[in-house]
Amino acid sequence: MQLEFVTVDVFTERRFGGNPLAVVTDARSLASGQMQSIAAEFNLAETTFVLPPRDPAHTAEVRIFTPRAELPFAGHPNIGTAFVLAARGEACDRAVREPLVFEEKAGLVRFELIRQANAVAGASFAAPQPLARGEDVAREIIAEACSLAVADIATDNHSPCIASCGVPLVLTELRTRAALAKARPRAEAFSQRLKADRAVGVLLYVREEAGDVDLQARMFAPLYGVPEDPATGSGNLALAGLLASLRPEPELALRLRISQGVDMGRPSLLELSAEKKNGRVTQMRIGGRCVGVMRGTLEV
């Protein structure tokens, strides 16, 4: 049996930048174990599998796998899959109509398409779950897991903390760009002190004082088979919500441009927003552009 796949680079406008994604465009014949094996074979941060929706009013059911585990939600797989299906105009023998809505384990994900010269160029979506801030994590644990000094970790705005809008990650602010550049994941420290059922990984970020972006970020998730992720939509969505929640204004429309993947040679640009009303974060949104790279068939 042969199945079609497409690969795209997400959060970029040029090939071989951004975060690569494989999309299996019709996975009706696959069992969960086969999906996991295919994701391991691609060995990208994530691979998505498109299925018919349970509710015919929706576009598709989408399942997301890292090389080692299934995720309930993730950012760049959603944007890349929306880009692929909108450009194809069909999903599992059903016409694709706007607005696109994906059924995922974390909930429904609704999209707006980004167009350029009448062609689909990318997509944006709102977080499927509200911001949830969990426990703080000791600086010593983050320092050990990411090969940093404790002094590299900033706590002026917040301590390292687990936050989620669908996938829990430890959000950690660093003091300098140099500290961000020298960070390296230590899988043994993750397995001992940041187990996979506690958080998917660690998102490190630093504020950018000059240039056309607001933050620089890196994300490590070695226990999920992702030593470093070039662009982490779910984590940066939660970060936008966290930063908005920490601001003193009761009403706020925060907009952020976040650069990620620079230190691994795959520069990505994520555009985010967070709305705050009556002192509460009510919506987080992320968008980005995509470019197609490869098409092929899988032998299953």
Over 2-17, what HEC string results? EEEEEEEEECCCCCCC
State the residue for tokens 């709305």.
275
| 103 Cβ contact partners less than 8 Å away, ≥ 6 residues apart | 53, 54, 55, 58, 60, 61, 62
Tokens coding 227 = 């030593």
Cβ neighbours, 10 Å, residue 40: 14
Q: At CA 227, angle to CA 238 and CA 291, rounded to 5?
A: 70
Q: Is 249 a catalytic residue?
A: no
Judge contact between 19 and 9, C-beta under 8 A.
yes
Cβ neighbours, 10 Å, residue 255: 11
Over 194-232, what HEC string results? CCCCCCCCEEEEEECCCCCCCEEEEEEEHHHCEEEECCC
Judge contact between 63 and 22, C-beta under 8 A.
no
Q: How far apart are CA 244 and CA 284, in angstroms?
A: 10
Q: How far apart are CA 160 and CA 166, in angstroms?
A: 18
What is the gyration radius of the CA atoms in the chain, in angstroms? Answer: 18
Catalytic residue of the set 46, 104, 228, 275: 46
| 169 Cβ contact partners less than 8 Å away, ≥ 6 residues apart | 162, 163, 199, 200, 201, 202, 203, 219, 221, 232, 234, 235, 238
Which positions are annotated as active-site residues?
46
